[in-house]
């Protein structure tokens, strides 16, 4: 796409402007770092465009404080568009606690139910569904329901979903798919995550 030129023009009867304003479903997947970071970068652009933002984090505990949350919440208090932040779960990204799976499944299902309500009400213009691939992968949220709901969402609500191992049906439904590939990471050398880089 040199200089922003499209590679094809569909025969859909829409003008260039109408096509440009269509809602986008984006998926950031893969085993490399940067999926959520890229999604929050998009959220900053959305905020700058004047769009209300809804963030739903599926593997971040209420106790965790991430830099993107502090920054976007601060922006939401400046008189610009609102930023709503929701966390589901107790911070079980890679390790699921024995005996707690049912609670996490219920929280993920309720999180998805809230997203469906917000989409139906057109509550936000831009949604970040952070680490949402995992509840789908683990069977806690039905992939077919997610795909159908997002395909039928009203208005021009933009959605970005992050997480590893995105389901093929979700990838097929998306307008924009980016796969983050890990080439090298400090953890390979025994260095744990640090503030300002990982959170």
- What does the alpha-carbon distance between residue 108 and residue 190 come to, in Å, rounded to a whole number? 32
Confidence of residue 20 (pLDDT cuts 50, 70, 90): confident
Question: What CATH number labels 27-181?
Answer: 3.40.50.300
- Across the chain, mean pLDDT equals 85
Nearest to 114, CA basis, from 138, 86, 142, 92: 86
Q: Where are any strands of DSSP class E within the chain?
A: 25-29, 53-57, 83-87, 126-130, 158-162, 176-179
pLDDT per residue as tens digits for the range 61-84: 555 567 787 888 888 788 889 899
Rg (the chain; Cα; Å): 17
Q: What is the pLDDT averaged over residues 37-62?
A: 89
Low-confidence winner among 36-40, 129-133, 188-192 (lowest mean pLDDT): 188-192
| For the ranges 107-116, 161-170, 183-192, the one whose mean pLDDT is highest | 161-170
Question: Is the confidence at residue 19, as pLDDT, over 80?
Answer: no
Q: Which helix (H) or strand (E) holds 106?
A: helix 101-121
pLDDT per residue as tens digits for the range 95-136: 455 554 447 788 889 999 999 999 999 999 999 999 999 999
Residue 1: what pLDDT?
A: 46
Per DSSP, the three-state class of 130 is strand
Contact partners, residue 81, CB within 8 Å, separation at least 6: 47, 50, 51, 52, 53, 125
Question: Is the confidence at residue 152, as pLDDT, over 90?
Answer: yes
- Model confidence, pTM: 0.85
- What does the alpha-carbon distance between residue 100 and residue 9 come to, in Å, rounded to a whole number? 50
Q: Can you read off the two tokens belonging to residue 112?
A: 């998805």
Residue 92: what pLDDT?
A: 42
């Amino acid at each position: 796409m040199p200089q922003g030129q499209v590679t094809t023009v569909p025969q859909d009867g829409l003008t260039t402007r109408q096509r440009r304003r269509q809602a986008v479903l984006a998926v950031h997947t893969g085993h490399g770092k940067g999926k959520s970071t890229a999604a929050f970068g998009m959220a900053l652009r959305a905020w700058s465009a004047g769009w209300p933002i809804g963030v739903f984090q599926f593997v971040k505990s209420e106790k965790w404080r991430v830099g993107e949350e502090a920054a976007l919440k601060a922006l939401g208090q400046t008189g610009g568009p609102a930023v709503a932040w929701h966390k589901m779960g107790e911070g079980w990204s890679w390790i699921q606690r024995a005996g707690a799976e049912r609670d996490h499944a219920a929280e993920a299902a309720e999180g998805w139910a809230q997203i469906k309500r917000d989409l139906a009400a057109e509550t936000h213009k831009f949604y970040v569904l952070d680490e949402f691939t995992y509840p789908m992968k683990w069977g806690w949220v039905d992939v077919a329901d997610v795909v159908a709901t997002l395909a039928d969402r009203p208005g021009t609500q933009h959605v970005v979903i992050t997480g590893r191992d995105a389901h093929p049906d979700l990838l097929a439904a998306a307008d924009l798919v980016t796969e983050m590939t890990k080439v090298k990471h400090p953890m390979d050398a025994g260095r744990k995550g640090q503030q300002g880089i990982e959170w």
